[in-house]
Amino acid sequence: MTASIPAVRIQTVTIPVADQERSLAFYRDVLGFEVRADAAYGGARWLSVAPAGSSVDFTLHLPFPGQAGPGWQHGIVLHTDDIAGVVAALRAASVEVTEPEQVGWGVQSQFADPDGNGFVLLQQG
């Protein structure tokens, strides 16, 4: 028998970065994400970004003590209705992006942020 818990939602995905300013420039200026929070927090900086309209944000943080350094986060999927346009825009911003490929659930491509955190672009269909 499985225990039943009240409904939960994903609110934040933390992404470790080496330089918050460099990462902010990438997520805001290259990916077009909006800044959701940018404030001092317990001697650190709380910096969150998200695609417009998303209920989930990414917190770009310096690694916590004992945590793996930047670049370990992989497999975050970003959905788009125009993968060719997103790939072209990323390449125009000098981001290395794999060629879009047909997979069983749509067309996908991959890229990484300046710290090596990996993302999948997906156009379903």
For the domain covering 71-125, report its CATH number.
3.10.180.10
For 18, residues 6+ apart whose C-beta sits below 8 A from its C-beta are 62, 69, 70, 115
Q: What is the pLDDT of residues 15-56, one digit of tens each?
A: 999 999 999 999 999 999 999 999 999 889 999 999 999 999
What CA–CA distance (Å, rounded) separates 80 from 97? Answer: 15
Domain ranges for the chain: 10-63, 71-125
Q: What is the CATH number of domain 10-63?
A: 3.10.180.10
- Beta-carbon count within 10 A of 45 CB: 16
pTM metric for this prediction: 0.88
Tell me if domain 10-63 and domain 71-125 are identical in fold. Answer: yes
Task: Fill in the amino acid letter for 121.
Answer: L
The secondary structure of 53-92 as a DSSP string is T-S-EEEEEPPPTTS--TT----EEEE-S-HHHHHHHHHH
